[in-house]
Amino acid sequence: MSIWREDGLFPLDHLVHRVRVEEPGAPVTCGEAGAEARGPLRGGLATLLDTSLSGLNKPGSSAHAALHVFETTMGKIAVFVDGRPGRSQKVYSWTLLTSLIEYLTDPLRLLKKIESARQKANNGDPSGYAEAARELALMLFSADGEDGETAERAKAALQELVRESTKPPVVVARLVSSEILDGRNRTAILPLGLLSAAGPDPVLSKPLVVVQPLPRERYSREACIDPWTFGVPAELHGVVDDKVLEALAVKDPPQWDGQRLHTLSALKNYLLDEQRASGAKGEGLLVLAHQAGGQLWFNDPGERIQPQEIRRIYAEGSVAVFAACSTASPDGNNRAILDRFNARGIDAIVASPFPVTIDYAVPLTLEFAGIVGEHRKAGRTPTFLELFTEATQRTAQKLTDTGGRFEQMGLEYILLGDPDLKLCGPPSPPVSPSDLR
């Protein structure tokens, strides 16, 4: 519950309380609920820094800063929270000049800047993403009158926080509207990580770790990722590069650690399987596909996977990477796939709100799958965020022989949900009878 000043322009309090909801007619099980479900009401504007509103925040999981945007009938209000201790001003609130949701969904606005940045990257100039960052910052930190001064101070506070940080600071981002869409408040994915794009006159001097919630927030303290499934076809419509075709055609790359599904029918059968996976470990899923209107396909647009065909139930701590066009788009149809996986138990997702280019998506997919295998075989346990960051870096290095500069292209992707989930470590050695004596 967010409590605001009478004019609707400034938050006074932010209350979070976790309640248990049962199916109609189900036996009452409140006494069996975990301690976090029986926890006390949490209040104060500092709760805006929580990386999850579920009440399941892990120790140390409060963010360094937060940017919340509320688009309501009272106005389009941005709230920035500076989590640094000892600050004279910690909360800033201003009225945006433009609907951020409309800006992000308009194909003639930010997307055009992204397309221009890609063209520059292909030509060996990565600075185009800095232009996209400046325009996004303009939309976020512009207002009239006194609000304009507040917005500028908020921007300066964020820039100072990033500049002072010894490692990438964690920033919570939420964008929600009072408009009801499909029975729930309309939300959108805010590509805040773009603000850290390098180039002339950058908005931020260092990268951010942006945490954005999924509709179902389930942040695990103990789960880890072990079995991996790669929905990577042996061929994909639109791929014409001989080297890429050759890489996809390798049936079972030796460095991969997990099952690979080469055909759409195999991926569909996997997703239709409603049997809950045994054990407490989360699953990893990597999908390379075409996507539009909330549907996935490999080669024939007439053969698709519908959201209704995603029935698999994922264990706590499961993650997914989608190298699929516009999976995280604010458009309701494109978000259908993402929301469906989340509803079935996926707790962290990497996806892009922009139409993904095949020339980048394919090598990114192959690098990510290989990196997972390398770490698993070596017994290392990097986080989901670290895995993806490493994959984007390797992809950029691999593409340098094309003459382009692609180190900024990974900023197009967004991590939603829990970024701290880790690969499971090596299995414990079996205990011999003599060890038990």
Q: Mind listing the pLDDT tens digit of every residue in the chain (437 residues)?
A: 888 888 878 888 888 777 777 778 877 665 555 555 556 777 888 888 887 765 554 544 578 999 999 998 888 999 999 999 989 899 999 999 999 999 998 989 999 999 999 999 999 998 999 999 999 999 999 998 889 999 999 999 999 999 999 999 999 999 988 887 777 777 788 999 999 999 989 999 999 999 888 888 777 667 899 899 999 999 898 887 778 788 888 877 888 999 999 999 999 999 999 876 666 689 999 999 988 777 899 998 889 999 999 999 999 899 999 987 756 666 556 678 888 999 999 999 999 988 888 889 999 999 999 999 999 999 999 999 999 999 999 999 988 877 789 999 999 999 999 888 999 987 655 444 444 44
pLDDT of residue 431: 43
CB 197 within 8 A of CB 137: no
pLDDT of residue 329: 64
pLDDT of residue 332: 55
pLDDT of residue 43: 82
pLDDT of residue 328: 66
pLDDT of residue 276: 67
Domains of the chain with bracketed CATH = 51-211 (no CATH), 224-423 (3.40.50.1460)
Please state the length of the chain.
437
pLDDT of residue 333: 61
Q: What is the pLDDT of residues 195-254, one digit of tens each?
A: 999 998 999 999 999 988 888 877 766 789 989 999 999 989 888 777 878 888 887 788
pLDDT of residue 427: 61
